[in-house]
Amino acid sequence: MLHRLTISELTARLARREVSARDAMQACLDQVARADGAIKAFISHNPADALTQADAADKSIAAGADFAQQPLLGVPMALKDVLAVKDHPLNCCSKILGNFVSPYDATVVEKLKTAGAVIFGRLNMDEFAMGSSTENSAFQTTRNPWDTSRIPGGSSGGSAAAVAADECIASLGSDTGGSIRQPAALCGVVGMKPTYGRVSRYGLVAFASSLDQIGPFTKNVRDAATLLEVISGHDPRDATSIPQPVPRYTQALTGDIRGLRIGLPKEFMVGGLDPEVKRAVDAAVTHLQSLGATVQEVSLPHTDHDVAVYYIIATAEASANLARFDGVRYGARVDGVDPLEMYGNTRGAGFGAEVKRRIILGTYVLSSGYYDAYYLRAQKVRTLIRQDYLRAFEQVDAIVTPTTPTPAFKLGEKSGDPLQMYLSDIFTIGCNLAGIPGLSLPCGFANASQPSALKSQPRLPIGLQLLGKPFGEETLLRLAHAYEQSTPWHKEHAL
């Protein structure tokens, strides 16, 4: 049962030499073998290499390694297929990367390795992180571990599902408009998007460079703090990373949230919300109050424009970032009589429908005659959205919202209608546009009240989203931890 442990539980046992890193790795490999035929979170993994890494961790432990220095020593982790791990495949779950093998480690991967983690697999995602259900993967469709007829969320659906199914102890994903928080909510795990610039993106395949951040998926808040502490920090190789000292995030978990001020944006807690989501979030707010937080209404008046601004800015940036996939230097190539024809053929055959849709939209909003009307205007409205958040944070320490308007939807339910899919991100996008940190943690289940004898539908996790001030990760983690430790949700396992 070692695969069911958290980072802190596993490392405590490793430190006491009660278990070996090899045993823990084997337990995760066994769970992948047992569960992943149905869940399909892993694109690839290498058991032999995983066990070799675990043996190396055991040697370090035997030689007296210090877990304070290496807080992930012997911890089996898998990563979203968008992060470069030297000599591992990298596909962004797209056909266009062909048989690409990373020539170097992403900065976060270097940091994980230095901290002792065992990195053993590639996790499924929407192609180039574009999607909200992981159905846009060119490889396979990941299932929600709580109900395999439903989506795990996206774009980091594999990362969320693998942690929820206890196939790995923790994972990393990337979040451009909710791609960590939304699947974390739908799969019942903790997911965090740090402040823009908190974590280096060197070695993350770029989608929308003014929005992307890397963040952790974990089974509880303490593990999120541990992992965030490992991956954060300034990196000269990412000019957008910010030279700000990294706090000891685990020390923020005091359990004491008395006097913290929580804001409820009136624009979020209104119609259109699934009634069970609303009930769970209302109850969570009441619970936070009972723990000593104060609650007040705040206003984010431009919320209504988040989705439109996002789908202009994100697609514009994506159209530029994805120009590099042209069949010249790496990946698959479909030949043509001249380079121009080769680019078109390669990209036409290599990209999937959603990626093409976004490249076309992004190219259009940047094209001559439309730039001012769409892209520049969106950037200006983005300023207003960001100002709304900063103004709200003059009154409160954190903002609380549902992470998603509904629990996990059915496979195929929205895949035919891109706009409907985009609208499922309404609660998570503002965080990326404003550049602030956000965290989702479990706050209950839909279908929970059905008597078990009449239980026709499985229970589906509901996520609570906490948004914080720029570099306010400690406050978010403190709030989330206090809530989690006084509620039962994180103790439940999907499998």
Partner 1 sequence: MRSEVGRLKVEWLKGEGALFNPSHLAVRPTLNLELSTLNFSFRPVSAPEFNIKYVAHLARLKLSPEEETQLGAQLGNILGYIEKLKEVDVTGVEPTAHAFPMVNVFRADETRPGLSNEDALRNAPKKTNGLFVVPKVVE
* C-alpha dihedral (172, 356, 437, 217), degrees to nearest 10: -20
Pick between residue 17 and residue 237 the one whose CB is nearest to partner 1: 237
Contact flags string 390-419 toward partner 1, x per CB under 8 A: ---------------xx----------xxx
- Residue 4 near partner 1 by CB under 8 A: no
Q: For residues 191 and 197, which CB has a smaller minimum distance to partner 1 in the complex?
A: 197
- The rounded distance, in Å, linking the Cα atoms of 19 and 59 is 13
User: How far is residue 3 from each of residues 70, 123, 220, 226, measured CA to CA in Å?
Assistant: 20, 17, 14, 18
DSSP 245: P
Could you give the C-alpha distances from 332 to 95, 271, 337, in angstroms and in order? 7, 46, 17
- Which region among 44-52, 216-224, 295-303, 477-485 touches partner 1 (by CB under 8 A)? 295-303
Q: Is 307 in the site for partner 1 (CB under 8 A)?
A: yes
Tell me if residue 410 is catalytic.
Answer: no
| CB-count exposure of residue 447 (10 Å: 0-12, 13-18, 19+) | middle
Using an 8 Å Cβ cutoff, are 96 and 325 in contact?
yes
Using alpha carbons, select from 242, 25, 40, 39 the residue that is nearest to residue 116.
25
481 binds partner 1 (CB under 8 A): no
Q: How far is the CB of 402 from partner 1 (least distance, A)?
A: 11
Longest dimension (CA), the chain: 70
Catalytic pick from 20, 132, 179, 241? 179
* 86 is known as an active-site residue: no
DSSP state of 441: E
Nearest to 257 by CA among 14, 466, 48: 466
Q: Is 485 in the site for partner 1 (CB under 8 A)?
A: no
Q: Is 133 a catalytic residue?
A: no
Distance from the Cα of residue 368 to its chain's centroid: 35
Binding to partner 1, residues 172-191 (CB under 8 A): none
User: Taking CB under 8 A as the rule, does residue 236 contact partner 1?
Assistant: yes
Q: Is 457 in the site for partner 1 (CB under 8 A)?
A: no
Report CA-CA distances (Å) from 273 to 299, 328, 424, 431, 492.
Answer: 18, 47, 11, 19, 24
Please, which residue, 471 or 489, has the CB nearer to partner 1? 471
Six token digits for residue 198: 């908190």
| 44 is a contact residue toward partner 1 (CB under 8 A) | no
Q: How far is the CB of 349 from partner 1 (least distance, A)?
A: 8
Q: Which of 17, 59, 380, 491 binds partner 1 (CB under 8 A)?
A: 380
- Counting contacts by CB under 8 A, is residue 453 touching partner 1? no
333 binds partner 1 (CB under 8 A): yes
256 to 285, contacts with partner 1 by CB under 8 A?
266-275
Half-sphere exposure of 97 (CA within 13 A, CB side): 19
Catalytic residue among 8, 20, 40, 80: 80
Q: Can you tell me which of 351, 393, 483, 489 binds partner 1, judged by CB under 8 A?
A: 351
Query: Which candidate, 352, 321, 327, 320, places its Cα nearest to that of 98?
Result: 327
| Amino acid of residue 48 | A
The one among 153, 154, 191, 435 contacting partner 1 by CB under 8 A: 435
Residue 347 as a binder of partner 1 (CB under 8 A): the answer is: yes
Q: Determine the interface stretch with partner 1 among 19-27, 58-66, 69-77, 92-100 (rule: CB under 8 A).
A: 92-100
Residue 448 in the binding site for partner 1 (CB under 8 A): no
- Mark the segment that binds partner 1 (CB under 8 A) among 20-28, 106-114, 152-160, 433-441: 433-441
Interaction of residue 361 with partner 1, rule CB under 8 A: yes
Determine, following the binding rule CB under 8 A, whether residue 312 of this chain makes contact with partner 1.
Answer: yes
Q: How many CB atoms lie within 10 A of CB 273?
A: 18
Q: Which of 240, 289, 296, 450 binds partner 1 (CB under 8 A)?
A: 240
Marked catalytic residue, from 133, 137, 155, 415: 155
Count of residues binding partner 1 (CB under 8 A)?
A: 93
Determine how many CB atoms are found less than 10 A away from the CB of residue 33.
Answer: 11
134's tokens? 């992981």
Strands 460-468 and 398-402 turn out to be antiparallel
- Would you name the residues annotated as active-site residues? 80, 155, 179
